[in-house]
Structure 1
């Protein structure tokens, strides 16, 4: 049978692997592969969703109510707030707006798995900069990599999948080394889990005012537990965010997502109690894994990182065999989300068995 003639696709896109979601879990397994919040939605959030607008009507394309709420919260005008279907959508929008053929986008690696595809889809060139030996951003090397072709830099703090933060002092030094016309995206998807006093907090420190080339990203997917509704936001200069709005897909934030985000802000004190529980579990998990001999980096997110190197796939298989679904990154390591209380003991049992087997 003759193969049909298909439309021509850009070769670099044809070679690009689609974003790979964390593996789904069976009914008896712990799904610790996607950094999801293990708690069920709050009753008040579910109640708000029960009164969502009719699904035969389009949502408000600007998510005005949520923008107004966030603007009031952070003391910025509503046009300095941008809402999209998850912070990853805003990453795509900003890179599309800033970079094209012949341009460069710098990012740390290993970091968020979507980063390498962002410049490629825009037609630009990605410039990955290896992490330091302790799994942190090498900000000096990233600043050294800036050229006349650099259009955007991606900073992930805490870094996904390794966990360490960028400090306020490190961020300030870095930004001062970067030309003012280069977009810096400060991706703070896990900021609510941070306990380090010296960590950069882009919104509390209002870095977008002192440095107009900085945009701060946040999400409702992690700490707020709305991963299934897809809603994230950015705060920065209005003209920069207008560019993101121009490249975004219209009407991508549903009414349900907007309503749930507002209800979650109303219930923030209760939600942060849950975050505190997860931080305590993370602390317990890191300490116990280190006691077993694992070189776990400092994590300020809702996950821990096992630097497993070339044994990554083999070790991940041991977790899966025990009904613990983790996220392996072949050749580098394994990310394990902080999930249900009952999962902690099982994680430690498998991790100990792996240590004993490798000795």
Structure 2
């Protein structure tokens, strides 16, 4: 039979979503399972969002505003940047894909730390680009010195995930300054800040405030996490105007739906509530971290809404044991397990499952 798809995709792992809670509950014969695998915030939609979505749905038979002008203006005001520097899209991961598409031809190189966001190799391969994976340090952080040394004439784009998914490690300003100064001006650096609202370390810089004036820096953000819009898919980036204009040329038309735009605008009116919820998450993050350390797990400090258990080849067995107790976590075999911070009750259930598993 004639092959209809690219043969190099055979070696590419598929993106693995968190397991369905209803399926696990049915398997175990329990009323409800707990999902701590997908880095969602557990407190439901923000006030006013459901109402905005309901109203927007009345015009679903019409195409959305392709430029997302009202949303871009609102984001521009919040971030104190010009609106022509903002591009919205179907989550920050879709924008990351567009960035590779806009910068790379087949054979060009994309550098990223590993382990980092699991979509990076998929995105690079989809564009025919070559992945250059630089191993994390022993403390589960980006090895920025090795990443800088890995730049070649073929390097077109570098992903820097700050804080890093799945290890939670944040990159401090001094280290990031040195790295960015070492990157050639014709290489695009993408600061992936999907978890920025959860950062509590004052030394971990805000990419928009600190670096967005550099022509070769793009800052990625999402509204899926702290802003509670994971199911509606809304992300945005901040870039130099000429970079943003080029990205819009290859952006999937109408990729930001009417409903998602309305939800995002309503969510942006709830910044105080977002801060309150993030404070709840980060307080629980510290509690869970300390509890796991008392179980002799060397959990690194996290700046996101999850914690990393560097269990090595025990990762799959640990995750399976937790699932048998009704708690879904995310194993990254053979490196470790990522556990999303949930409500206090959910976290207590996880800690009990973790103690049994360990």
Give the alignment's TM-score, normalised by structure 2: 0.95
In the TM superposition, 1:101-116 aligns within 5 A as 101-116=106-121
The answer to whether structure 1 residue 14 and structure 2 residue 18 are counterparts is: no
Corresponding residue of 1:150: 155
CA contact (8 A) 2:168 2:306 kept: yes
Deviation at 1:7, TM superposition (A): 4.8
Deviation at 1:272, TM superposition (A): 1.4
Corresponding residue of 2:50: 46
Deviation at 1:204, TM superposition (A): 2.3
In the TM superposition, 1:67-106 aligns within 5 A as 67-106=72-111
CA contact (8 A) 1:220 1:232 kept: yes
Of 249, 252, 257, the match for 1:254: 257
Deviation at 1:17, TM superposition (A): 2.6
CA contact (8 A) 1:100 1:123 kept: yes
Deviation at 1:318, TM superposition (A): 0.5
The answer to whether structure 1 residue 315 and structure 2 residue 311 are counterparts is: no
CA contact (8 A) 1:328 1:334 kept: yes
Corresponding residue of 2:187: 182
Of 25, 34, 39, the match for 2:21: 25
CA distance in 2 between partners of 1:61 and 1:130 (Å): 39
CA distance in 1 between partners of 2:47 and 2:122 (Å): 38
The CA deviation string for residues 227-250 of structure 1, in whole angstroms up to 9 with x for no partner, is 000000000111112222222211
Corresponding residue of 2:278: 275
Pairs aligned (count): 349
Of 53, 64, 67, the match for 2:69: 64
CA contact (8 A) 2:327 2:353 kept: no
CA contact (8 A) 1:319 1:326 kept: yes
CA contact (8 A) 2:110 2:156 kept: yes
The CA deviation string for residues 292-351 of structure 1, in whole angstroms up to 9 with x for no partner, is 100101101000111111111111101000100011111011100001221111211122
Corresponding residue of 2:164: 159
The CA deviation string for residues 209-263 of structure 1, in whole angstroms up to 9 with x for no partner, is 1x21000011100001100000000001111122222222111111111111111
CA contact (8 A) 1:94 1:243 kept: no
CA distance in 2 between partners of 1:199 and 1:321 (Å): 37
Unaligned 5+ residue runs, structure 1? none
Q: Which contiguous aligned blocks of 4+ residues in structure 1 show a shift greater than 4 angstroms?
A: none
Of 269, 283, 287, the match for 1:284: 287
Corresponding residue of 2:229: 226
